[in-house]
Structure 1
Amino acid sequence: MMDKSHISKAELWAYISKTADPDTIRKVELWKDSSEYDKELFSQITAIYLNTKEYPVSVEDAKNRFLRYPRNTKQKTVSKVYKLLKYAAMIAIIVTAAYTYQQFSESTSQLISEETSFGENKQLKLPDGSVVWLNASTLLTYKGNTPRTISLEGEAFFEVAKDTAHPFTVTTSDGLKIEALGTSFNVKSYSNTSIVETKLLTGKVAITSDKYLKERVLLAPDEKVIFDRNSKQFFKQDMVKREGRIAWREGKIEFENQSFREIANDLYVQYQVKLVFKNDEVANSKFTGVFDKNTPIREILEILKTSKEFDYHLITATDEWVIK
């Protein structure tokens, strides 16, 4: 005859959770029909299982923690119930902690997005203490648990908090990666333009690209690097004094010896107006100037005309300015 006092908590858990093998099922059912059957113990383990099986986390560790405690069947019922309640409380704490940890892990790994619309600027502080200014029509994304790994579409200025153990990186849609430590720099990477531009004000950055660069490009303060999307070439240059101001942060539109076509892209992200060129000579003409962001587009065009003669008119139906 089998010794029913050898029924273990592990066997009861397996039976209640429907994971027991045929021999264990038979053993538990014989025990339930015997004088050794402990109804309170069976009910407690059943209640614990029913209250933990719906959690979206594994309760295996909780179960094992529970099953490690020895059971003395000779103790008084009050003592036995007290211990079972204590163990049940421990399992509830373990399961709740596991669930909370999972929820926290999911929230910290979620993708966080910061975005600006046409003509809008925004300043934000990242969890690592770095400060970012977003220019108009810009999208910045990062995961909550890696705020020093940034993806950028548009233009942003960064003041990076120092953390030598965790480099700060900004990646563009072209796969260009700008890596910095304690640094202030500007990255311009709009999808509708032919260039990606990085300007360094303080500190040091390295630009890398698995696709376009064999060696990294290092920048010192007051230097910039331009990546031409058409030619796939990089050009490293010294910045002129005025470029170090990052005019858009001051609410201005500034261009230094830029083609009219390039200026048109800047006007689009600020005003959401499209300039259509019917004259390549005019489109490639270069201009230097600075305007407040609230300057009407017609006024900007009139001022540019003083340097290069051209005609323009607005097509109201499509909200396009035709330049010829």
Structure 2
Amino acid sequence: MKTEEMNIEDLLIRYYDGQTTADEMQEIEAWLKMSDDNKQKAKEVYTLLLAADTKSAADTMDMEKELANVKKRMKATGRPIAWWKWMQRAAAILFIPMAATILILLNQPESASSVYVQMLEVQTQPGVITSFRLPDSTLVYLNSASTLRYPSVFTGDTREINLCGEAYFDVTKDPGRKFIVSTPHHSKVAVLGTRFNLEAFDDMDEVVTTLVEGKVEFKYRKAGDEQKMVMKPGQKTIYNRKNEEIRVKNTTGESELSWKDKKVIFDRTPLQEALRMLGKRYNVEFMLKTSKYDKYTFTGTFTDQYVDEILDNFKISSHIRWRIIKTKDNEQKKRLIEIY
């Protein structure tokens, strides 16, 4: 069946969800080449799908109803909605928080495979977590103060994205195309279909990969050459980009993945690691002024407690002393807490 005889909006939705057949993919790609208006319509449909899949919007809308309204308006006008008007409409419908920002980075020319690709970037502000799906239906949870960059359509033999921060991936299986996550630390994670957590903040020396299910190939630099190791479920790999050393630990993953459920779970967690987890969750900065607490580890689950309450638990259990540092900088974005 020809594209013009089909409901193009429904086909676009299936195309971005990776549900089209090979023939349908060829037809939609030919349709995209026909005009700039077609490319604009495809862009708008994808933006709505991306926004609708954020976790913050999941419980506030009827997705089928809103898509029906959008398609009705498209058919009524006979042309794509102006870009800025579209974004206003999407924001009004989905209650998208400004804390999670979707950016259109650039439009790329058609590749050899004739697929129109644009680079997208999702950013989260400190203290905010969001979730969404990539064009291949891979589910992503993006942690606080993190950035994920990816193409609007995956082309070629691989599915490549870039992460600066922390994210959890439930990767859609595709035996013919590896899913590759690059980080700012000269390291990559390559998989086919799996569930894993990757932490690679730009201001950290370590890249931490925790594998929940499947198989992960972790690639890293050592002495100028690329090395790789294969991880098994229940393993946590810690790569230090400064000394180029790599360590592997066994873990249940419960503590490492607790952030995506807006929890903080300590499992015999050393103080410095516990403070780092709290810093991400509550957008605070810690100043550790002593090493006398280095011997302590902490176990416990915290969900709705404020950071002050958690620190008070530390104080009760381990006599840890802490205080909030007030500064003269009125523009300071993070609370400063001293451990002394």
**Shorter-chain TM band:** 0.5 to 0.7
Count, aligned residues: 227
Contact 1:137/1:270, CA 8 A, preserved across alignment: no
Consecutive unaligned residues of structure 1, counting only runs of 5 or more, are 1-95
- Equivalent in the alignment of 2:144: 136
1:181 aligns with 2:184: no
**Are 2:250 and 1:250 aligned?**
no
Provide the C-alpha distance between the structure 2 equivalents of 1:168 and 1:106, rounded to a whole number of angstroms. Answer: 23
For 1:110 and 1:284, locate their aligned partners in 2 and report how far apart those are by CA, in whole Å.
50
Residue type of the partner of 2:252? V
Query: Is 1:320 matched up with 2:314?
Result: no
Deviation per CA, 1:201-249: give whole Å up to 9, x if none: 11111011245665411011112211124432111222136448x2122
Number of the residue aligned with 1:301? 311
Indicate whether 1:206 and 2:217 are aligned: yes
DSSP 3-state at the match of 1:306: helix
Deviations, residues 137-161 of structure 1 (Å, cap 9, x unaligned): 2111112243821111111111111
Whether the 8 Å contact between 1:253 and 1:291 is mirrored in structure 2 is yes
What are the within-5 Å matches in structure 2 for residues 1-324 of structure 1? 97=34, 105-106=108-109, 108-146=116-154, 148-211=159-222, 214-240=226-252, 242-243=254-255, 246-282=257-293, 285-292=296-303, 294-317=304-327, 319-324=335-340
User: Root-mean-square deviation (CA), in Å?
Assistant: 2.7
Q: Does the residue aligned with 2:317 lie in a helix, a strand or coil? A: coil
Q: Which moved more, 1:295-304 or 1:108-117?
A: 108-117
Code of the residue aligned with 1:298 in structure 2: it is D
Distance (Å, rounded) in 1 between the aligned partners of 2:280 and 2:259: 12
Q: 1:98 offset after TM fit, Å?
A: 7.4
Secondary structure of the residue that 1:281 maps to in structure 2?
Answer: coil
Q: CA deviation at 1:180?
A: 0.4
Percent of residue pairs bearing the same amino acid type: 27
- CA drift of 1:264 comes to 2.1
Q: TM-score, normalised by structure 1?
A: 0.63
Greater radius of gyration (CA): 1
Greater share of strand residues, 1 or 2? 2
Report if aligned partners of 2:121, 2:149 keep a CA contact under 8 Å in 1.
Answer: yes
Counterpart of 1:188 in 2: which secondary structure? Answer: strand
Counterpart amino acid of residue 338 in structure 2? V
